[in-house]
């Protein structure tokens, strides 16, 4: 079976979205880096190809609904207590309650590939609290917001072990950590 991976971008000060759930700081980022680095686009495409299923919170899902659905027909769990529309062409499964309750089904749906925790911080925090988050892959964007939606919604008391770093052609850096179970 695959792993459960929280793969996201964050600012230098640890935010994944601005206070209004916006990511203009990311989508409008202008690289200013002349050093060596891997292709960020290729790294993202490779990661997405390795994801067999997705899980996200309702805020992340609502943000994505305002854009193109880029995840094909991968089974996607949206954790919400509200009625939300289904993205056209998507396999959306709504769940009210803790992600641990549907984690086995999500992993089964992912098959041999990974379960991608798309966002946000509360979903990742709940999975980490339950000992179900295997790795954190965070790409640090050299932007400081000063306020916003944090990478995690609360402290994670489990130690993390650095697995590696990658420098991208944009000047962004990926940090990869394993969470101790």
The answer to whether residue 174 sits within a structural domain is yes
Q: Look up the domain containing 116 and give its range.
A: 4-17+35-179
β-pair type (75-79, 91-95): parallel
Asked whether residue 30 is assigned to any structural domain, the reply reads: no
Residue 22 lies in a domain: no
Q: 93-148, pLDDT tens digit by residue?
A: 999 999 999 999 999 999 999 999 998 999 999 999 999 999 999 999 999 999 99
- For the question of whether the overall pTM of this predicted structure is more than 0.85, the answer is yes
> Does the residue 25 lie in any domain?
no
Q: What is the average pLDDT across 76-86?
A: 95
Kindly state the DSSP code that residue 101 receives in the 8-state scheme: G
Instruction: Judge whether 24 lies within some domain.
Output: no
> Is 28 a domain residue?
no
- Residue 9: inside a domain, yes or no? yes
Does residue 100 fall inside a structural domain? yes
- If phi > 0 it is left, if psi is from -120 to 50 it is alpha, else beta; for residue 110 that is alpha
Q: Among 122, 124, 115, which Cα is nearest to 93's? A: 115
> Could you write out the DSSP letters of every residue in 114-142?
EEEEEE-HHHHHHHHHTT---EEEEEEES
| CATH number of 118's domain | 3.40.430.10
pLDDT at residue 1 is higher than 80: no
What's the structural domain count of the chain? 1
User: What is the model's pLDDT at position 76?
Assistant: 98
């Amino acid at each position: 079976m695959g792993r459960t991976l929280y793969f996201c971008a964050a600012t230098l000060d640890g935010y994944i979205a601005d206070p209004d759930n916006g990511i203009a700081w990311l989508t409008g980022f202008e690289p200013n880096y002349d050093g060596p680095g891997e292709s960020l686009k290729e790294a993202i495409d490779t990661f997405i190809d390795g994801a067999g299923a997705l899980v996200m919170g309702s805020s992340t899902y609502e943000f994505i609904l305002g854009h193109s659905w880029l995840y094909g027909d991968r089974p996607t769990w949206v954790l919400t207590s509200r009625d939300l529309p289904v993205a056209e062409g998507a396999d959306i499964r709504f769940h009210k309650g803790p992600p641990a309750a549907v984690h086995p089904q999500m992993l089964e749906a992912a098959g041999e590939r990974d379960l991608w925790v798309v966002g946000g911080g509360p979903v990742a925090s709940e999975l980490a609290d339950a000992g179900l988050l295997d790795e954190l892959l965070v790409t640090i964007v050299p932007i400081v917001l000063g306020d916003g939606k944090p990478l995690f919604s609360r402290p994670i008391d489990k130690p993390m072990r650095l697995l590696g770093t990658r420098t991208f052609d944009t000047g962004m850096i990926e940090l990869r950590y394993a969470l101790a179970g």
